[in-house]
Amino acid sequence: MASLKALKLRIGSVKSTQKITKAMKMVAAAKLRRAQEAAQNGRPYAERLEAVMASLASRVGGVGASPLLAGTGKDQVQLLVVATSERGLAGAFNSNIVRAARRKAEELIAQGKTVKFYLVGKKGRVLKRFYPNAILADQEMGHIKTVSFEDARVVADDLVARFTRGEFDVAHLFFSKFVSALVQEPTGRQLIPVPLATDRAPKSGADAVVEYEPSEEDILADLLPRNIAVQIFRALQENAASEQGSRMNAMDNATRNAGDMINRLSIQYNRTRQAAITTELVEIISGAEAL
């Protein structure tokens, strides 16, 4: 049985761990609110842009369209853009994203495709262990406190440049979708060529009188790279919110576990102490009786 002193130390150490997890939970809750707000603020832009792109794409059509929309005509080299967080201690947040990406990678490899990775965020680096030769780039976002559109654009410009150089044919983006503070969904979606729900676009008859300046094709060519940046920006924002939500949960659980542990240890401590007192008493009484 553990000595009284050892138990006391143990309780002390669990207590300080609990203090830390509690503080982390509160910090995550505060950051979550801000990240959620930022994600919400970005919605109108993304929605508008998507609507405009869809209506443009439906009238410009497939012939002679930019490869960003139509693709390279091949799908041999597949790029997986994996957006993760910079810090751990957020429950299964990062491992969920990485797992989703790996599942997709295995699926593609089984189909005989070449898979490459583009990592955004430090915690995606575990993928290096599984696919040491497939890492195309590794963007660290550690210096960034809150994602700005500029940061997303740096990534997007790099991706578009690599695409133009023919480094890959299809790109998928992996991130964690923020559903609620309790639920985050690891999600993968196609990034390049830009998938457009053209059937959702308004019938061309309704706005056939719209004038374009410059031409529809030029506007679309201008919007396509921008759309990729917006997609990445949205993903990073959703990720930021999910990360905080996930951390909040993980730290809440940790705090509760620490509480349970303290209760158990206290009971053990009290019992041990009582046992020691009883033993001592028995010794004294039997000593007195012997006289």
Partner 1 sequence: MLHFELVTPEKLIRSEEVHMVVVPGTEGDFGVLEGHAPFMSTIRDGALSIYRSAGAQPEIVPIQGGFAEVNAKGLTVLAEHAG
Of these, 3, 13, 76, 148, which contacts partner 1 (CB under 8 A)? 148
Q: Give the shortest CB-138-to-partner 1 separation in angstroms.
A: 24
Tokens (6 digits) for 274 = 């009582």
Using the rule CB under 8 A, is 111 a contact of partner 1?
Answer: no
Using the rule CB under 8 A, is 228 a contact of partner 1?
Answer: no
Of these, 64, 73, 211, 289, which contacts partner 1 (CB under 8 A)? 211
Q: How many CA atoms does the CB half-sphere of 170 hold within 13 Å? A: 17
Q: How many other β-carbons are positioned within 10 Å of the β-carbon of residue 12?
A: 12
Backbone angles phi, psi at 186, to 5 degrees: -65, 130
CB 174 within 8 Å of CB 79? no
Of these, 212, 273, 279, 283, which contacts partner 1 (CB under 8 A)? 212
Q: Which amino acid does the sequence have at 34?
A: R
Of these, 73, 132, 142, 214, which contacts partner 1 (CB under 8 A)? 214
Q: In the complex with partner 1, which residue's Cβ is closer, 130 or 212?
A: 212
Q: Give the shortest CB-181-to-partner 1 separation in angstroms.
A: 21
Of these, 140, 185, 207, 260, which contacts partner 1 (CB under 8 A)? 207
For residue 115, what are the contacts with CB-CB under 8 A and spacing of at least 6?
A: 78, 79, 80, 105, 108, 109, 131, 134
Task: Identify which range of 36-44, 73-81, 119-127, 163-171 contacts partner 1 by CB under 8 A.
Answer: 36-44
DSSP state of 198: G
* Cα distances (angstroms) measured from residue 216 to each of 25, 59, 166, 202, 207: 50, 8, 26, 16, 13
Of these, 140, 218, 260, 280, which contacts partner 1 (CB under 8 A)? 218
Distance, in Å, from the CA atom of 152 to the CA atom of 229, rounded to the nearest integer, reads: 6
Using the rule CB under 8 A, is 90 a contact of partner 1?
Answer: no
Q: For residue 193, is the peptide bond before it cis, meaning its omega torsion is within 30 degrees of 0? A: yes
Task: Identify which range of 12-20, 45-53, 105-113, 283-291 contacts partner 1 by CB under 8 A.
Answer: 45-53
Q: Give the shortest CB-42-to-partner 1 separation in angstroms.
A: 5
CB 178 within 8 Å of CB 184? yes
Using the rule CB under 8 A, is 222 a contact of partner 1?
Answer: yes
Using the rule CB under 8 A, is 42 a contact of partner 1?
Answer: yes
User: What residues line the site for partner 1 (CB under 8 A)?
Assistant: 38, 41-42, 44-46, 48-49, 52, 148-149, 152-153, 207, 209-214, 218-219, 222-223, 226, 229-230, 233
